[in-house]
Amino acid sequence: MSLSLQSPLPSFLSSSLPKSRLGFANGSSSSSTLLFKFNASFPLLRASSGSSSSVDNGLSTELDAVSTFSEIVPDTVIFDDFEKFPPTAATVSSSLLLGILSLPDTIFRNAVDMSLADSTCSRLENPELRLSCFVNKALVNVGGDLAKLVPGRVSTEVDARMAYDTHGIIRRVHDLLKLYDEINVPPQRLLFKIPSTWQGIEASRLLESEGIQTHLTFVYSFAQAAAAAQAGASVIQIFVGRVRDWARSHSGDPEIEAAIQSGEDPGLALVTKAYNYIHKYGHKSKLMAAAVRNKQDLFSLLGVDYIVAPLKVLQSLKESITAPEEKYSYVRRLSPQSAASYEFTAEELTKWDQLSLASAMGPASVELLAAGLDGYVNQAKRAEELLDKIWPPPNV
């Protein structure tokens, strides 16, 4: 169904959007990818604490310019980039396990093979429980290897089949934490990636109250973002491009249509609104803008805590030495100062609960959340199937 609005179609909906993303050979979604932050070929990237201002004329590349405002997280799953692009943070997921299993010479294959030799898992008679145990062990073994390679945090995906089970999510995170403790990875180095269903948000609240850091993903509406901030999630991840893609081929979502009627890109508008809410009301959450498709997206989000960008965008930024006044105006778009003056409605300032969240989520967030969960569940099942085929591993 095409988008039907009284106002003219904005350029961000009618323009061609780049689709190519770096990923595994099996074509898995980049939403579950390993994230590298370059500190060799690219400079160390840090968010600026200052308010809106133009970038210093002494900066030599566009990448230098944008990195003064936000921490840029390059989006890649290329294992061989470790020497060329040393990572400083990572995500471990079923998608990553699939990539490791499809590339047997990766430096992580031994971590997976050793998980299949775990005697605790092997003794389980129930095949489903045994496979789940192997997957948990594999995620942690790989996460432990990544923790040795990166100075930052490792985010570990929680099985999406538990997305609507608060206590199941909490038990799974506790199980993963216990496994990490056995290999001496402290909780301060860890995040746990949880889908932003109401049950996932509630699990995040309870886990954060224990001092366990959570990373809420699949946020496609302001209601989800605000509820996640109220829960105290350490990281909240919004997928800019996916919201835009939905708007290009659908209609009927009040939040998206309100952004379009104002001449705004709905994905960028969602990040802006969530950022302003977090900073205006003093929530501790850090906001991550993912599925950023091009340089203009990135420029429009300067000031947000993290921006996940494709390598081709970062390479283009790095190679460009055009003076800012000749091509773009590098201005911090998001800041605590601008957030302070942002106005929210009484409905947006509600104390979110399960009923109010369900009522506020429009068709875009409902459909995109469901699609994201389906993708994660399918990846988890495929990872289990592959592990089942190679268990027990030879010579271990």
Task: Name the amino acid, one letter, at 200.
Answer: G
Residue in this structure with the two tokens 């070929």, named with its chain if needed: 41
CB distance 291 to 311 below 8 Å? no
- Rounded Cα gap, residues 261 and 85, in angstroms: 41
Task: Give Dmax (Cα) for the chain.
Answer: 67
Would you call 189 helix, strand, or coil by DSSP? helix
The tally of CA atoms less than 13 A away on the side-chain side of residue 218 is 28
Size (the chain), residues: 396
Q: Which residues contact 41 (CB under 8 A, 6 or more apart)?
A: 84, 85, 318
Give residues with Cβ within 8 angstroms of 164, minimum separation 6.
197, 199
Closest CA to 232 of 245, 250, 248, 214: 214
Angle at 48 between CA 43 and CA 51, to 5 degrees: 150
Which of 37, 137, 193, 286 is labelled catalytic? 193
Is 193 tagged catalytic?
A: yes
Q: Could you give the count of Cα atoms lying within 13 Å of 255 in the half-sphere of its Cβ?
A: 26
Q: Which residues are tagged catalytic?
A: 193
